[in-house]
Structure 1
Amino acid sequence: MKTFSSSVERINQESATIHGQFGGQRKTSGYHRNPEWQVKVAEAERFMDEIRVGRRRHTDFAEAMSTSDFPKLFADSLDRQLYGAYMATVPTWMNYARAATVNDFREVKRFATSGVRGLLTKVGEGAPHERRAQTETEYKYSVDKYEAGFGLTWETMINDDLGAFFRMPQDLADSVRDSEEEFVTRLYCDTSGPHATNYTALKGNLLTGNPALTRDSLQAAITVLMKRKDERGNPIVVNGVRLVVGTGLSLVAQEIINTTEYRVVDPNGNVRIIKGNGVSANLGVDTNYWIDSVATTANANTSWWVFAAPNGVRPALEFGRLRGFEAPALYERIPDMRRMGGGDEGVSFETETAEKKVKHVYGGTFVDEKMSVASNGTGV
């Protein structure tokens, strides 16, 4: 078998000939006189007979048959798999923006009042008391409708042996989360970092010198928030603080928060070991992936924001959804094709496509500049 198997392998070569594989012997008469020739012929007869009766193993043919012999059968890979879609960003906006519900598409108004609260004044006998006037600040915005969808032809659905299109409705739902996060990001961030309209030195919410994010600068920002006062000088209570950064500062922010000990050297060279970082109390960190897309300059890697928790009297931001449509709504076109004799098909009669879409209605605005502090981190 070994002799004949090697001969079968050589036959597969284009240059091989049957005559050459059997020793190249020529007949000297009506019979082959060479013993080697006779052995090979007998072995070939036995091999073919065993094939006929089913006694040859499949492995005996492995050397003779390869994928190159079957260009059509192996044209497409038999080992295929579908990678899942990228994971949607984890929304962070609800940690520092207030969620609200609006009734319709008309402009909604929010009013902040002040002017009456304040310390009492001493009044002498028969003297008039202080008459205080209430002041109002107006904030307004409206919601808009946002949609996206897809259509699949009947042929595409038939060919979808990997189920690639079954997760597309989930992709639409993930698009809603991304859209909300991106929308809120644009309320406090622009191409250069902190939104140029909402963060200014005049409003007192842009840190002097735009310091980089460090423990000291973060502590200074938190101190600014904790010292906020209203128009009559009353302290504004801040119950919690959120630090918001892009991906470029995510590790830096986590290191600051997770530090459990730091050392301070005084002017005399004395070293003090302080337990705790001094800033982690009532402080949370949010990494907003959309900052990297909204801020298109290098400031995306250096900008950072601090927000008062939105559960206070006034939030820094408000994000509103339409009443009755607080959650995204998924739709599909009703199919209008049926087989003669019965049986619906989930596609359009005209184009033989199946269509689905998602609808979401939302809007928002920047509310109170006192409830946030920011820096572009450039040191300028």
Structure 2
Amino acid sequence: MTTSTLFESAVERLDHEADPIYQAFGGDRRVRRSDNPKYLQMLGEAERFMDEILFGTRPLAHFAEAMSTSDFPQLFGDSLDRQLYGAYMATTPTWRNYARAATVNDFRKVKRFATSGIRGQLQKVGELSEYPERAQTETEYEYAVSKYGATFAASWEAMINDDLDMFRRLPQDLADSVVDSEEAFVTGLFCDTSGPNASFFTSGNGNLISGNPPLSRTALQGAITTLMKRKDERGNPIVVTAVELVVGPGLALTAQEIIDTTEYRVQDGSNLRIITGNGLAANLRLNINYWIPAVATSANADTSWWVFASTSSARPAMEFGRLRGYEAPALFEKIPDARRIGGGAEDMVDFATDGNAKKVRHVYGGTTVDPKMSVGSNGSGS
């Protein structure tokens, strides 16, 4: 109704201003519109057109030609609603909780030594008898760091067309790659395609849980007890004050449920015992390592689990080392070798190719150390 009123008022205004309008468009100002049959015919058609729109009797097909985007291939050729999805989040590193971080001086092999020491209970010495002499053994570990990196390049044309700032995000992707690479490297030290690393977790080392039990409260208590009862070469107890449970995402909910459970009910014959507290959470921390399924490509990826002694212990289960002075990853951008004649803003591109390149460099390495500081199971039950 509002549209009809506006239309009628506009017609009346044009009718009153017939002389100037006709004169502007070359018409005969002496002939008024109200006296022009053609004008009256067109006015009637316009009124019918408006009435059909207002009352919904005008077919939509009459508008198809006016509303088609095919007549404007350049104007509507690309979407005006364009968004760039965010990058996947980098994994949260967990390796620092169960592998000792170290620094090395150069690319040559570094050596780490562990000795049995001479700690032990004193023996009774008889009158005029010699004191028993003690000897110690030593174990050597070695590894070398290596250089790792990646690069990407973009053309000048691509950077000009980058209205979504995609290339500004790529340096952050390189930095996140460092986080993923460190976690993946340490995961490869204790994990292989079948679960616990077969060369490190063995029955001979005493760190492969017998029977490879699935993760449960009973199995976890047994693994922690095994660590707590460790002894050194001389039979002295090894003090373990805290442990780290490491699982892949396939066991994350199971592990969290075990830790969060605060009450157990045990049927003992005709008696029901209620145990408050799980006896685990106080000295146990859960670590969800998202790189385990990427390394353990077998079905055991969703069932394998590990328990490590805290890195505060005298000897770690693993060591991860970075190059001294380059502990943090280094991001680089190629310096442009072109200068615009006449001055002005410089283009950060290569003279020969109009390209822009960036890279990341990181230096690290590591090795397994003491098998006594960990236990593992592939969870297969066999």
TM-score (norm 2): 0.84
What aligned pairs does 1:223-302 form with structure 2 within 5 A after superposition?
223-266=225-268, 268-302=269-303
Residues 338 and 226 (structure 1), Cα distance of their counterparts in 2 relative to 1, 3 Å cut: same
Query: Partner of 1:358 in structure 2?
Result: 360
Question: Could you tell me how far apart the structure 2 residues matched to 1:212 and 1:37 are?
Answer: 93
Q: Give the equivalent residue in structure 1 for 2:341.
A: 340
Secondary structure at the aligned position of 1:299 is classed as: helix
- What residue identity is the alignment partner of 2:186? V
Partner of 1:326: 327
**Aligned match of 1:140:** 142
Structure 1 vs Structure 2: percent identity of aligned residues?
A: 66
Q: Secondary structure at the match of 2:67?
A: coil
Query: Partner letter of residue 92 of structure 2?
Result: V
Q: CA deviation at 1:39?
A: 5.2
SS at match of 2:281: coil
| Structure with the higher fraction of residues in helix conformation | 2
Q: Which runs of 5+ in 1 are unaligned?
A: 6-35, 48-60
Query: How many angstroms apart in 2 are the aligned matches of 1:223 and 1:269?
Result: 29
* SS of the residue 1:75 aligns to: coil
Equivalent in the alignment of 1:311? 312
2:166 alignment partner, SS class: coil
SS at match of 1:167: helix
Q: What residue identity is the alignment partner of 2:243?
A: V
Q: 1:37: how far off?
A: 8.9
Matches within 5 A, 1:7-46: 40-43=41-44
Superposed CA deviations along residues 212-253 of structure 1, whole A, max 9, x for unmatched, are: 000000000000000000011000000110000001100000
Return the alpha-carbon distance in structure 2 between the equivalents of residues 225 and 335 of structure 1.
57
Q: Which amino acid aligns with 1:345?
A: D
Query: Number of matched residues?
Result: 334
For the pair 1:100 / 2:98, whether they are aligned, the reply is no
SS in 2 for 1:337: coil
1:122 equivalent in alignment to 2:128: no
1:370 alignment partner in structure 2: 372
Q: Which amino acid aligns with 1:289?
A: Y
Instruction: Give secondary structure in 1 for the equivalent of 2:168.
Output: coil
Please state if 1:178 is matched with 2:180: yes
1:43 is displaced (CA, Å) by: 4.1
Aligned equivalents of 1:135, 1:41: Cα separation in 2:
112
Indicate the SS of the match to 1:222.
Answer: helix
Between 155-164 and 68-77, the greater mean CA deviation after superposition: 68-77
Structure 1: distance between partners of 2:102 and 2:85: 37
Q: Counterparts of 2:261 and 2:327 in 1: how far apart (Å)? A: 39
Q: Distance in 2 between matches of 1:210 and 1:122?
A: 43
Distance 1:154 1:128, change over 3 A: same
The corresponding residue for 2:200 is 198
The two structures, once aligned, show a CA RMSD in angstroms of 2.1
Cα deviations by residue, 1:274-325 (Å, 9 ceiling, x for unpaired): 1111111210000000001000000000000000001110000100000000
Q: Please give the secondary structure, in 1, of the residue aligned with 2:226.
A: helix
Tell me how far 1:46 sits from its aligned partner: 9.3
**Matches of 1:192 and 1:330 in 2, distance apart?**
36
